[in-house]
């Protein structure tokens, strides 16, 4: 499946590649964890040349350098910007001492967008994400501001990231009832080693027709195949994120086994598993070197069998917070009384086995 086999992003008319390119690593300021301008441009050019069209960044990635690299790249190639779905995020405060420099209030959203557009050298963003929940700002204020920006033509679509399910549901309902621009996608942490999104946010997205765009789909590189029980890679990044736990190694073992049988990589298997989740799931793949990108794109060529998916689902099954445990087999037992409804079987609730008496 090549990058130019596009999917529709949620309930919108926006067509995007099955993998988005994450630009968080573009630029070396601050900290030196990213990559040079030259390497960033190689990664971006390769992604676009292969048919990719969905590029994701944020205002404070590498202190704004990520946005500037993207802006300079597209400015030097007239006509290319209009063919790319360019997404950025607001929330991060880049102005120490200024309480209104970040967050999701009206003034701060407008100011952050103007700064992003300046660095990106464009007059609009195709998708604008709330990067995190601003608990100090009414959701209505954030939504109305975003709707105003859509109507002004400065942004085209809206999404939320890292926001509680109850806040996200409230926001979507408010937008729909008031005729404001609704959400089309959620950017969430999601991988074989991070599945708690399946408790609330993923079911909500599926119900509302929102796309999921997982960040860290390889869980800090744990699912890349580099981490083995014999030892984790000797690198600064491994020291930063720590090593896998025993439970995580159990998942890595199954991923590696399936990858070996399919003659592919652990990263490709992990990304293929995400693509097979219910609904529209568009993983965000990042790279600090060109070979990281080309290696991750192998996930588009892998189709996992039902048996492989079942093995991965079982070994990586998350422990979800209440009330999610009440919504599985116990719910069917209480509700369906031994019948099968919509293909879901159930057993009989035990007390009913003891007596047919009804009071």
Cα–Cα nearest to 165, from 131, 198, 214, 125: 198
Cα–Cα nearest to 22, from 296, 284, 294, 289: 284
Note the residue count of the chain: 359
How is residue 156 written in tokens? 């085209």
Close Cβ partners of 104 (under 8 Å, ≥ 6 residues apart): 90, 91, 130, 134, 137, 141, 142
**Contact predicate 50/84, CB 8 Å:** no
CA angle 284/285/288 to nearest 5° reads 135
Cα–Cα nearest to 302, from 275, 283, 281, 284: 275
In this structure, the dihedral spanned by the alpha carbons of residues 141, 147, 148 and 153, taken in order and rounded to 10 degrees, is 150
214: β partners: 188
Dihedral of alpha carbons 215, 19, 70, 127, sign: negative
Catalytic-residue membership of 61? yes
Give whole-number Cα distances, 342 to 64, 127, 339, 345, in Å: 50, 36, 10, 8
Q: 3-class SS at 355?
A: coil
Cα–Cα nearest to 334, from 342, 346, 343: 346
**Contact predicate 22/15, CB 8 Å:** no
CA angle 217/222/228 to nearest 5° reads 150
Burial class (CB in 10 A: 0-12, 13-18, 19+), 257: middle
Q: 3-class SS at 322?
A: coil
Active site residue: 6, 47, 61, 128, which one? 61
- Mind telling me the catalytic residues? 61
């Amino acid at each position: 499946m090549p990058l130019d086999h596009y999917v529709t992003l949620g309930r919108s008319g926006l067509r995007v590649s099955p993998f988005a390119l994450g630009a968080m690593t573009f630029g070396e300021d601050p900290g030196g964890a990213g990559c040079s301008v030259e390497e960033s441009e190689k990664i971006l050019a390769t992604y676009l040349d292969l048919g990719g069209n969905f590029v994701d960044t944020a205002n404070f990635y590498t202190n704004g350098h990520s946005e500037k690299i993207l802006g300079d790249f597209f400015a030097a190639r007239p006509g290319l910007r209009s063919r790319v779905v360019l997404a950025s995020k607001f929330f991060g405060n880049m102005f120490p001492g200024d309480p209104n420099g970040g967050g999701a209030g009206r003034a701060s959203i407008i100011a952050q967008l103007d700064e992003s557009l300046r660095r990106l050298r464009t007059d609009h963003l195709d998708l604008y994400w709330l990067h995190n929940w601003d608990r100090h700002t009414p959701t209505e204020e954030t939504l109305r501001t975003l709707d105003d920006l859509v109507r002004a033509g400065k942004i085209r679509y809206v999404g939320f990231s890292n926001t509680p399910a109850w806040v996200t549901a409230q926001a979507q309902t408010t937008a729909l009832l008031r005729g404001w621009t609704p959400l089309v996608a959620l950017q969430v942490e999601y991988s074989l080693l991070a599945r708690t999104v399946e408790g609330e946010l993923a079911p909500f997205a599926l119900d509302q027709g929102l796309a999921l765009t997982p960040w860290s789909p390889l869980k800090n590189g744990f699912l890349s195949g580099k981490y083995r029980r014999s030892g984790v890679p000797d690198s600064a990044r491994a020291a930063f994120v720590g090593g896998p736990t025993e439970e995580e190694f159990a998942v890595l073992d199954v991923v590696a086994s399936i990858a070996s049988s399919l003659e592919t990589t652990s990263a490709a298997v992990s990304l293929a598993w995400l693509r097979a989740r219910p609904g529209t799931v568009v993983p965000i793949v990042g790279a600090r070197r060109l070979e990281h990108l080309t290696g991750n794109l192998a996930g588009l060529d892998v189709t996992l069998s039902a048996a492989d998916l079942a093995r991965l689902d079982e070994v990586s099954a998350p422990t979800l917070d209440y009330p999610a445990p009440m919504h599985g087999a116990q719910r069917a037992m209480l509700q369906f009384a031994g019948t099968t409804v919509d293909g879901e079987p159930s057993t009989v609730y035990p007390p009913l086995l003891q007596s047919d008496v009804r009071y």
